Amino acid sequence: MTGRDHRDLGGPTEKCGVVGVSLDERAAARPLYYALYALQHRGQESAGIVTHDGFQQHSHVEMGLVGDAFDEDDIDQLNGPVGIGHVRYPTAGSVNASCAQPFSVSFKSGSLGLSHNGNLVNAGEIRDELANLGHAFTSDGDTEVIAHDLARNLLEEDLVRAVKRTMSRIHGSYSLTIMHDDTVMGVRDPQGNRPLCIGEIDDGYVLASESAAIDVLDGELVRDVKPGELIILQPDGEGFDAYQLFEQENTAHCFFEHVYFARPDSVIDEKLVYDVRRDLGRALWDESGVDTDVVMPVPDSGRAFASGYAEAAQEEDASVEFAEGLMKNRYVGRTFIMPTQDARERAVRLKLNPIKDVVEDRTVTIIDDSIVRGTTSTQLVQLMRDVGADEVHVRIGAPPIIAPCYMGIDMASREELIASDRTVPEIGDEIAADSLEYLSIDAVADALDQSRADLCLGCVTGEYPYDIEGETTDRDVDRPVIGSEPAAADD
């Protein structure tokens, strides 16, 4: 285990990518494989696909990157025109094959496959209850809890009611792709914390965490799955049925998806991530611009912020020049997953190298999307000085991260977060910058066209939209209750 906050939320966090496909005749395995490639940034620990050929499930789940987890033979043996897939992020807790997904089980009324992105806050409770009823668990992840609960409900109810019952019991963040026998479904939690969208391709339909996965299949984004909605893909790739199972007054979309996690070429909740990042960059200039000789992004996620920032600056006749003064070595893993501080520092140095000519004898602003522990910015400020920068200013395209994420983004524990107990000027001193400014929460809400009440801002306010033991919540957390008959929505 690393030093993250391990409240008993029922298992490790699941910061992942999910996909589901229903096609006319063609095998689903290859499109699923391509879609997982497009979602690789959402998880590098394991990759898996489960398909169904009308008679039985076929599964291949392995540790490692998508490209390493499958070979031609693996894809060939994944028969059937329907299937689901998953990429999993390396997290604390169980970094082992028992947590790799899709999770699959066979039970009395058929087979079930499940891919989960998000994190339940009451999985422990449900696990204990089901274990007392004789359910045997093979992993400590919350996905298996959902699978068992759903399997149990499917013994008594039809598909839509069974999903609705499970949704009324589980609480927290979840975007799921589910396969029950040869029916593929997508479900988004009633507050829509993690993204999930629907796409149409030549011979069928796709559900995916991000629209970039639909693009690689030459498909069209149809729309986002709505919070609280169940989408059932029709067999033969004919279309889909939509059921609005729960409606809540407020959503809790994760703003950090737009700031850092998602691909810039994805559209999430009707917003192109790239545009949001550019708008955030513009807002950063408006709120705390500093007219240095040069502004440079921390690649890759800082790029769109810096270009928006430079554009807004130039519109006001500031002389700041946009330059790519930091080069990234793509083959170094995310610094975040390095086990020790020393290894993290080494990884930043391996990963990012300055171009001396761009920096020497000039005043510089570095733009990054976020500061977590402060390792990256501390190292970069020092590097800039080492290659001769006159001044080094840091601007961050998100508010200070002061609290952990329990909803599926792998942050750090409170003790590790540099902003949890420091003011902005103190952090500026700590990273030895000439100045440091973050973006305001209101600027984030504006760029996303959302009210603050519809966003999950837990990591920047310390108040969460869910009921988490030992933390405060920013709303009335009503668990959805089983209500009226589920009605199909037209689509």
Residues forming the site for ligand AMP (CB under 6 A)? 260, 298, 301, 334-336, 368-376, 409-411
Among the listed residues 83, 60, 2, the one whose alpha carbon sits nearest the alpha carbon of residue 341: 2
Catalytic residue among 16, 99, 254, 459: 16
Name the minimum Å distance from CB 300 to ligand AMP.
8
Reply yes or no on whether 16 is catalytic.
yes
Is 51 or 301 the residue whose CB approaches ligand AMP more closely?
Answer: 301
* DSSP conformation letters of 7-18: --SSS--B-EEE
DSSP 174: E
Q: How far is CA 196 from CA 181, 244, 457, in A?
A: 22, 15, 19
One-letter identity of residue 255: F
The answer to whether the CB of 401 falls within 8 A of the CB of 460 is: yes
What is the C-alpha to C-alpha distance for residues 203 and 224, in angstroms, rounded to an integer? 20
What is the C-alpha to C-alpha distance for residues 276 and 273, in angstroms, rounded to an integer? 5
Secondary structure class of 244 (helix, strand, coil): strand
What is the C-alpha to C-alpha distance for residues 333 and 348, in angstroms, rounded to an integer? 10
Is 222 or 411 the residue whose CB approaches ligand AMP more closely?
Answer: 411
* DSSP conformation letters of 363-425: EEEEEES--SSSHHHHHHHHHHHHTT-SEEEEEESS----S---SS-----TTT-TTSS--HH
Is 279 or 368 the residue whose CB approaches ligand AMP more closely?
Answer: 368
Name the minimum Å distance from CB 114 to ligand AMP.
24
Name the minimum Å distance from CB 115 to ligand AMP.
20
Is 230 or 459 the residue whose CB approaches ligand AMP more closely?
Answer: 459
For residue 268, count other CB atoms closer than 10 A to its CB: 24
Is 334 or 422 the residue whose CB approaches ligand AMP more closely?
Answer: 334
Region at 172 (left for phi over 0; alpha for psi -120 to 50; beta for the rest): left
Look at the alpha carbons of 147, 153, 154, 158 in this order and tell me if their dihedral is positive or negative: negative
Name the minimum Å distance from CB 437 to ligand AMP.
16
Is 40 or 244 the residue whose CB approaches ligand AMP more closely?
Answer: 40
Paired with 84 in beta bridges are 20, 50
Name the minimum Å distance from CB 130 to ligand AMP.
31
DSSP 452: G
The label of the residue with tokens 């270009």 reads 307
Secondary structure class of 92 (helix, strand, coil): coil
Secondary structure class of 250 (helix, strand, coil): coil
Name the minimum Å distance from CB 88 to ligand AMP.
14
Name the minimum Å distance from CB 142 to ligand AMP.
19
Name the minimum Å distance from CB 106 to ligand AMP.
35
193-57-104 Cα angle (round to 5): 45
Is 371 or 443 the residue whose CB approaches ligand AMP more closely?
Answer: 371
Strand order in the sheet with 183-188: 103-107, 110-120, 172-180, 183-188, 229-233, 240-244, 488-489
Is 104 or 209 the residue whose CB approaches ligand AMP more closely?
Answer: 209
Catalytic residues: 16
